[in-house]
Chains A and B, each alone.
Chain A
């Protein structure tokens, strides 16, 4: 399809394991965002890429969270030594340009830490 694709859709991990979440943005989109959405709440910003450059990572909650976009297209969000409070839906969004643009969202990855 032509939309933003995220995988896996669901991920269950034991506390302490490392996880990797993947985002395939719309082809040609310059900007890519990661958001975290806890149950019953609005999404919260994690990090932002413009092409391969990570321009803002101020929303990452700890140094266990790491994101990359090495070739300016696919992005991976990695969480090391997962904890229960990491359980959430992780949303990826992309936009054609930077700045004031509509963002196109993927369906998210629902992460459950046991």
Chain B
């Protein structure tokens, strides 16, 4: 069993739809990260959170520490949101990131 699990693996949506990607983890963490990866490899950090909720534009990330669960929401999705979204955690024991497998999001016009 992976320490960080994401669902769904693949998600296809129509432009304008509300999107949710889920992440569950099984280890103690000091922070959870949501990352975006476009074709070609570059990874961009979207959020780092250890409690509650953060919002940036159309993106919202929430975390429930007791349930070891986080969600990434995209409101009013757009084709340019198409990318792989990766959940990662910083374990309490160190600095390195442990990653989920990623969710491939495709938003069709």
Contacts and interface: CB of A to CB of B under 8 A. Distances in A.
Interface residues of A, number: 28
Contact of A91 (B33, B41, B94, B96): B41
A107 B48 contact: no
Given A91-B41, A107-B42, A110-B41, A102 B97 contact: no
B87 to A, nearest CB: 9
B75 interface: no
B30 interface: yes
B27 interface: no
A100 B99 contact: no
Contacts of A41: 101-102
A62 to B, nearest CB: 19
Contacts of B30: 99-100
Which secondary structure dominates chain B's binding surface?
Answer: strand
B76 interface: no
Nearest to B35: A105
Given A31-B95, A41-B101, A100 B42 contact: no
A43 B48 CA distance: 17
A107 B97 CA distance: 17
B98 interface: yes
Interface string A84-114: 0000010101010011111111111010000
Contact of B45 (A44, A89, A91, A102): A102
A1 interface: no
B40 A100 contact: no
Contacts of B100: 42
B62 interface: no
Given A42-B99, A44-B99, A56 B94 contact: yes
Contacts of B94: 48, 56
7 residue pairs, one from A and one from B, having the closest CB atoms: A42-B99, A108-B41, A105-B43, A107-B42, A45-B96, A100-B30, A42-B101
Interface of B: 4, 30-31, 33, 35, 40-45, 48, 50, 86, 88, 90, 94-102
